[in-house]
Amino acid sequence: MRLCSVCPLSFVPIVCSSPLPPPQAIMSWGALYAQLGGVNKHSTSLGKIWLSVLFIFRITILVLAAESVWGDEQSDFTCNTQQPGCKNVCYDHFFPVSHIRLWCLQLIFVSTPALLVAMHVAYRKRGDKRSMLASNGTEKPSDVDMETLKRRRLPITGTLWWTYTCSLFFRLIFEGGFMYALYFVYDGFRMPRLVKCEQWPCPNKVDCFISRPTEKTIFTIFMVASSTICMVLNVAELGYLVCKALMRCTGRRRNRRLSYNHKETVARDGTALQNKKNELLLSAPSSDSSMRKTVC
């Protein structure tokens, strides 16, 4: 129950029956999935697999399991000293950035290029809508035409091909950069049970113990493996798009060459036919004169 307002006459607080929404309802991963779902309709099969891996194996595990494992990270980080400030300094030295926050930042950066593709698709569809309205003139397009335009899948060609390819390239850069940052900051993907700290104001070398090191190591390796799978899918999709573009260019060149050869053949046949007609016309007078001589 929560306080909504106060009655202006009796100054009696009015209590609302509905509780405040949790913070997760305000900013949820479902909103991100709703935005990326529009991109999924215009993606290739590999892109759809990438989105499934992103949400099932990374975001779901991060929200449901990993946050509970790292929830007691600082509170259960213990050191064998009572020196004030030593525990906080040692924790900041070994964990400058939390795994959870680093992974959340990685997912945001990896998902941003896909949102650029969604913006490009929305821009193209808005242009198609304007063209439809201009072609109809004063007549308003029907709801069926507008729904068809909304649900139409755009082919990955032209400028959309460049936007999609650049988004894949930036995804690879962000994935590789964050994996390197995770390895560099924590000196590997394995979580140790015991760390030695000599930071000030610790009086000497202090032993500090990390809670749930095995469980954290398993989750770290799982998230790194999921990132690697996403990188492999991005590389495969990038190669697929490049090969498909090369095949289209080769097909267009072959069609142009065939049309050029066809025109040359037609022109050559026309020239040969005209030459034959000219020969027949030139030989006709000589045959007439020979017939006259025979008659005489």
Model confidence pLDDT, tens digit, residues 240-259: 999 988 998 887 777 777 77
- Looking at residue 29, what is its pLDDT? 58
- pLDDT above 70: residue 56: yes
pLDDT reported for residue 63:
80
pLDDT surpassing 70 at residue 170: yes
Question: pTM for the whole thing?
Answer: 0.70
Q: Is 188 left (phi over 0), alpha (psi -120 to 50) or beta?
A: left
Of 145, 128, 141, 152, the residue nearest 38 (C-alpha): 152
Number of domains in the chain: 1
User: Following DSSP, what letter does each residue of 139-172 receive, concatenated?
Assistant: SPPPHHHHHHHHHPPPPS-THHHHHHHHHHHHHH
Residue 51 lies in a domain: yes
* % of the chain at pLDDT higher than 70: 65
Residue 225 lies in a domain: yes
Residue 25 has pLDDT above 50, yes or no: no
Residue at 116 is within a domain: yes
Domain that holds residue 93: 45-146+154-250
* Domain assignment of residue 38, yes or no: no
Q: Does residue 229 lie within any of the structural domains?
A: yes
Is a pLDDT exceeding 90 seen at residue 266? no
The pLDDT of residue 160 is above 90? no
What is the CATH classification number for the domain harbouring 230?
Answer: 1.20.1440.80
Distance CA 111, CA 105 (A): 10
**202 belongs to a structural domain:** yes
Any domain includes 264: no
Quick one: pLDDT band at residue 13, thresholds 50, 70, 90? very low
pLDDT reading at 282 higher than 90: no
Higher per-residue pLDDT: 5 or 104: 104
pLDDT confidence of residue 6: 39
Is 258 part of a structural domain of the chain?
no
Ramachandran angles phi, psi of 74, nearest 5°: -80, -35
Among the ranges given (8-22, 112-126, 171-185), the one the predictor scored with the smallest mean pLDDT? 8-22
Averaged pLDDT for residues 134-139: 65
| Between residues 282 and 251, the one the model is more confident about | 251
Tell me the CA distances in angstroms from 293 to 109, 205, 286, 290, 296, one per residue in order. 100, 132, 11, 5, 5
